[in-house]
A = this chain, B = another copy of it.
Amino acid sequence: MSEIRLIEIKEEILTDNKEEADNLRRKLKDRGIFLLNLMSSPGAGKTSLILRTIEQLKTKFRMGVLEADIDSTVDAEKVAAAGIPAVQIRTGGFCHLDAGMVMKGLDALDLSVIELVIIENVGNLVCPAEFDTGAVKNAMILSVPEGDDKPLKYPLMFNVCDVLLVNKIDYLGLSDFSMKTLHERVRTLNPRIAIIETSCKTGAGIDMWSAWLAEEIKKNRNRREHQ
């Protein structure tokens, strides 16, 4: 029975990964580095959001980016062109990043001068939700063209995230997407999640997102100083 065997193996791997992720989180805390894990479906706008975040925050925080992809280096090239150190992690068929892969990616950055690292996870609403990367906060993007029914279909992703960016709001009105229905479905799954509506194309909502992220980085620093 390959299915039962697969479940057992998966549980072991998830347990090992959780330990590694907790270790990584402790190490990063000691060094004052804020790690953000950004997840979404393919094409929802992860790279565009990272480029917008760099514009807004690069004078406030020294940044680095880990770009995960099955293949290709196109996203890392875009980030590097924006003047921010970027590491491309090719997962070679794996559908998610785990803490071990993130650790290897971080080794390629000069952590002595970095305060904020953003992970662009593999474009996938399933597997990345299951693997703790060691990040302080999990963020996800849902883009309007994907539809307002996604919380019903991928509940774990909406559950593990601290913030949801509803992106491509410039597409509102082109389909039957209801922002009210989406908010209700998300809140039912995860009452504490922050929801920010954005358009990386027009720039709408990007200031709110940057303010949210800057505030979380400050809170994390204060927690560290008071320990």
Contacts and interface: CB of A to CB of B under 8 A. Distances in A.
A37 interface: no
Contacts of A174: 170-171, 174
Contacts of A93: 126, 130, 156
A89 B150 CA distance: 17
Contact of A126 (B5, B43, B70): B70
B70 A155 contact: yes
Size category of the A interface is 35 or more
A145 B171 contact: yes
A125 B124 contact: yes
A152 B17 contact: no
Interface string A3-23: 101100100010011000000
Contact of A42 (B13, B41, B70): B41
Interface of A: 2-3, 5-6, 9, 13, 16-17, 41-43, 69-72, 74, 93-95, 98, 100-101, 122-127, 130, 143, 145-147, 149-150, 152-156, 168, 170-171, 174-175, 201
A153 B69 contact: yes
B168 A42 contact: no
Contacts of A125: 42, 123-124
Given A2-B16, A70-B156, A175-B201, 8 more contacts: A2-B100, A6-B94, A42-B147, A43-B143, A43-B145, A70-B153, A124-B125, A170-B174
8 contacts: A6-B94, A42-B125, A43-B150, A71-B153, A71-B155, A72-B153, A74-B153, A124-B126
A122 to B, nearest CB: 6
Contacts of A69: 153
